[in-house]
Amino acid sequence: MKVKAYLQVTMKIADANRAAAANVYTTHKEPFLTTIPGALTKDLLVRAEDVQVLHGFDSEAHAKAYLNSDLFTQHVFPKLKAQWQGDPDVRIYSL
């Protein structure tokens, strides 16, 4: 399958909290790829000013649906929220 949509989550995370945020990414990457409908890729992008997680999906509908999934709302979101400095920037891009 080919990636046709991306869900980009950009977060400001203090240097001291980045290891904890990276652990959330690592812990949930495999369940994301194997249990979320339409999930194809998941990449962690670290910059000096922020951290991004880029999720690749087979459709925009699946990207939107992930934001309401149990994995995101019950596991990923609560663990990451404690690391944020302000609200994340969440965007969906279609190809």
- The verdict on pTM exceeding 0.95 is no
pLDDT of residue 56: 98
Pairing relation of β-strands 51-57 and 89-94?
unpaired
pLDDT of residue 85: 93
Give the mean pLDDT per block of 10 residues along the chain (95 residues).
96 93 95 98 94 97 98 95 93 97
CATH number, span 5-94: 3.30.70.100
